[in-house]
Amino acid sequence: MIRDDILALLRVPPETKVRLKDYDSGWAQTEEMKELGKDVIKDRAQEILAENLADLAAVQELLYADNRYAVLMVFQAMDAAGKDGAIKHVMSGVNPQGCQVFSFKKPSDEELDHNFLWRYMKALPERGRIGIFNRSYYEDVLVVKVHPELVERQRLTEDDQGKKFWKRRYEDINAFERHLVRNGTVVLKFFLHVSKEEQRRRFLERLERPEKHWKFSTADLHERGFWKEYVKAYEDALSATSTKWAPWYIVPADHKWITRAVVADVVTSAIRGLDLKYPELNEEQVQAINAAREQLNQE
Ligand code: ATP
Ligand code: MG
* Distance in Å, CA 142 to ligand 2 centroid: 15
Nearest 5 degrees, angle CA 12-CA 77-CA 229?
Answer: 90
**Which ligand 1 atom is nearest residue 223's CA?**
18
pLDDT over 90 (residue 152):
no
Of 67-81, 175-189, 209-223, 248-262, minimum mean pLDDT range: 209-223
Spell out where 29-184 has E strands: 70-77, 99-103, 130-134
CA–centroid distance for 195 within its chain: 19
Report the residue among 120, 143, 213 best suited for mutation to probe ligand 1: largest number of ligand atoms under 8 A from its CB.
143
* pLDDT-derived band at 159, boundaries 50, 70, 90: low
**pLDDT higher than threshold 90 for residue 242:** yes
pLDDT interval class at 234 (50, 70, 90): very high
pTM across the whole model: 0.95
Query: Residues near ligand 1 with C-beta < 6 Å?
Result: 79, 84, 103-107, 134-135, 139-140, 143-144, 150, 217
Residue nearest to atom 25 of ligand 1 (CA): 106
Q: What is the average pLDDT across 236-255?
A: 98
> Do 190 and 266 contact (CB within 8 A), yes or no?
yes
Distance 227 CA to ligand 1 centre (A): 15
Distance CA 101, CA 268 (A): 17
Pocket probe for ligand 1: among 112, 135, 218, 220, the residue whose CB has the most ligand atoms within 8 Å is: 135
Residue 265 CA to its chain's centroid (Å): 12
Cβ contact 170:238 at 8 Å:
no
Q: What does the pLDDT average to over 139-159?
A: 88
Q: pLDDT category, 69, cuts 50, 70, 90?
A: very high
